[in-house]
Amino acid sequence: MRDPVTPLPEIGHSEVTASTEDIRSPWRDFLQSFFRHPVAIVSTLFILLLILVAVLAPWIAPYDPQVPDWMALGAGPSAEHWFGTDDLGRDVLSRIIFGARISLYVGLLSVTLGMVLGVLLGLLAGYYGKWLDMLIMRGSDVLFAFPGVMLAIAVVAILGPGLNNVIIAVAVFSVPVFARIVRASTLSIKQSAYIEAVRCVGAPDRVVLLRHILPGTLSNVIVYFTMRIGTSILTAASLSFIGLGPEPDVPEWGNILAMSRNMMMAGKWNVSVFPGLAIFLTVLAFNLLGDALRDTLDPKLQK
């Protein structure tokens, strides 16, 4: 005689809800781990505030950055001009606010260009190897032989001064590091069993590289991308300070520092301190954000 079929236990709504709540998304886990770092919160808020200031610059700047106040030439901080004015009577605070636009634009665009080219070269070098790997890596070694600022100066000296050429120069010295980071990750990932399985089913190299290898390299790329933005802003300001950046009247942080050299000798500290402080805090915030991302995304550093 057949045994009666045992009915399945009924699952209550509360049990389904509890099991659903136990499912954790990677994005939620990342945010919880990331915001455990107080430094990450402070740096993220500062960068978001800086982006907001750059976007709203025409509406929040108290004065036009190019219009001088002839009654306050080289004035110190006051109720009318919080950060004072330069030797031409232009409001320093307004120029710093508008300079945030240019500095973020240069930093983000130059690092993005360097990242795209570097990631592509790193994928090709790590995946195909042989002569292509040797050619790309030896080219990277040549670029590594020059300090970053010196390489940027050489590129701008060849192309000529200007904002677009500064972006190209900063992008060039970002390429080799991205290429090395992605190459190292690609060499490790392409030996994995699932990559061999994808090859066995006949997937083309383009699919293997873009859909299966590239995602495994993104954590390291994101960390370095974030930290490189601060370095790029500092390099662009250095090029502007020595006269290889945009036109002197452009309200860029390096230009503001360059224009303040004569005033520093006269004891006008405000024209140099405030833009220098803006550069310092911005670079520090991006570096601290990169450190927090590294601690969050690197499983070896997880506690």
Listed ranges 24-33, 147-156, 224-233, 291-300; the one with the highest mean pLDDT:
224-233
**Rg of the Cα atoms in the chain:** 26
* Band of pLDDT at residue 4, cut at 50, 70 and 90: low
Is the CB of residue 236 less than 8 Å from the CB of residue 245?
yes
For residue 120, what pLDDT is reported? 92
Comparing 99 with 143, which gets the higher pLDDT? 99
Listed ranges 80-84, 131-135, 187-191, 195-199; the one with the highest mean pLDDT:
131-135
Burial of 80 (0-12, 13-18, 19+ CB in 10 A): middle
Kind plus residue range of the DSSP H or E element containing 118: helix 92-128
Q: Which sign, positive or negative, has the C-alpha torsion 104, 105, 107, 113? A: positive
Q: Is the pTM of this model over 0.85?
A: no
Kind plus residue range of the DSSP H or E element containing 258: helix 253-259
Is the CB of residue 113 less than 8 Å from the CB of residue 170?
no
Q: Of 106, 96, 248, 114, which is closest to residue 166 (Cα–Cα)?
A: 106
**pLDDT surpasses 70 at 66:** yes
**pLDDT surpasses 70 at 296:** yes
Is the CB of residue 257 less than 8 Å from the CB of residue 237?
yes
Phi-psi region of 160 (alpha: psi -120 to 50; beta: other; left: phi over 0): left
**Type of residue found at 275:** P
Show the domains of the chain with their CATH numbers: 42-58+85-301 (1.10.3720.10)
